[in-house]
Amino acid sequence: MSIFTSHDGTELAYHVRGEGEPLVCLPGGAMRASAYLGDLGGLTAGRRLILLDLRGTGDSAIPADESTYRVDHQVADVEALRVHLGLERMDVLAHSASGNLAQLYAAVHPERVRRLVLVTPTCWAVGLDSTPEQRLEVVRKRSGSEPYDTAIAAYERIQGIMAAGGTPAPADWRQAMPLAYGRWNDEVRAHLDASDREKNAVAAAAYAGPGAFDPPATRAGLRRVEGEVLVLAGELDSNPTPALAAELAGLFPHGAVDVQAGGAHFPWLDDPQWFAARVERFLAEGV
């Protein structure tokens, strides 16, 4: 573990795994410690992963001002890490909710991004989302066996409650979680069980709070990104759906989308060999 000091004096931790060219990795959750990323399917074979613990998560300190958990404030943390590492331009991989952090960072610092991998990213920063009907169309493809039938029923309840402006019950979210994985076994269950202890719930609630996003400004900033961008979607993932991932890729001058067959929201767990090879090929060769 290594420590650096961010712009406001908060001490942030990062973990280095593997050898080779550095790849800065931003975890999702939102606000889950970077430990859940593991070695990203074996990317450590050719890359030195710089796994950042976002403020208030993992081994990073809790900030004095908890309003800085909001994702737009954390752009400065990513820039402070770049300076600390002494990188003129950097390769970045961001997963899920941190796709928004990476989009905001790229929009503000387009000259600092060499290549960017957005793994099953949410797209709030650019004002994109799929409809409940589109998400349900994806998850219903998995019907016909357990635990997916129970998970689909829970997901249908969640979508209905949210459409009515309500808040789904935690039990429904828990029942729906098998849909986040392309396969269901002891390894995946352990990965899911670790989530609660690896997340900072206070930080997660603030992450996408009021004022966090200005989609027109972010879209304009992304048009200045000269680095290449790969948006990697899972065939079985409902957020983002493959179609939404393609729409996000189209906002970058040099963006491309790829869809991992049989993959869901954590695709490096579903087919580690395919995932690592695809990401490594992009980092080495571009789109």
- pLDDT tens digits along 75-102: 999 999 999 999 999 999 999 999 999 9
The two counts, helices (H) then strands (E), for the chain are 12, 8
Average pLDDT over the chain, rounded to an integer:
96
Averaged pLDDT, 201-229:
97
pTM: 0.96
- pLDDT tens digits along 103-146: 999 999 999 999 999 999 999 999 999 999 999 999 999 999 99
Averaged pLDDT, 40-58:
97
- pLDDT tens digits along 147-177: 999 999 999 999 999 988 999 998 999 999 9
Q: Give 69's DSSP letter.
A: G
pLDDT tier for residue 64 given thresholds of 50, 70 and 90:
very high
Averaged pLDDT, 223-247:
97
Beta strands in 165-243 (DSSP E): 228-234
**Which residue in 199, 209, 227 sits closest to 73, CA to CA?**
209
Both tokens assigned to 192: 């899911």
Beta pairing class for 11-17 and 2-5: antiparallel
Residue burial 69-108, b: 16+ Cβ < 10 Å; e: rest: bbbbbbbebbbbbbebeeeeebbbbbbbbbbbbbbbbbbb
* Burial class, 22, CB count within 10 angstroms (exposed 0-12 / middle 13-18 / buried 19+): middle
Q: What pLDDT, on a 0 to 100 scale, did the predictor assign at position 139?
A: 94
Q: What pLDDT, on a 0 to 100 scale, did the predictor assign at position 287?
A: 81
How many C-beta atoms lie closer than 10 Å to residue 65's C-beta?
Answer: 9
Averaged pLDDT, 61-79:
97
Inter-residue contact 198 to 32 (CB < 8 Å): yes
264 pLDDT higher than 90: yes
Averaged pLDDT, 187-216:
96
- Percent of the chain past pLDDT 90, that is, above it, reads 95
Q: What pLDDT, on a 0 to 100 scale, did the predictor assign at position 286?
A: 87
272 pLDDT higher than 90: yes
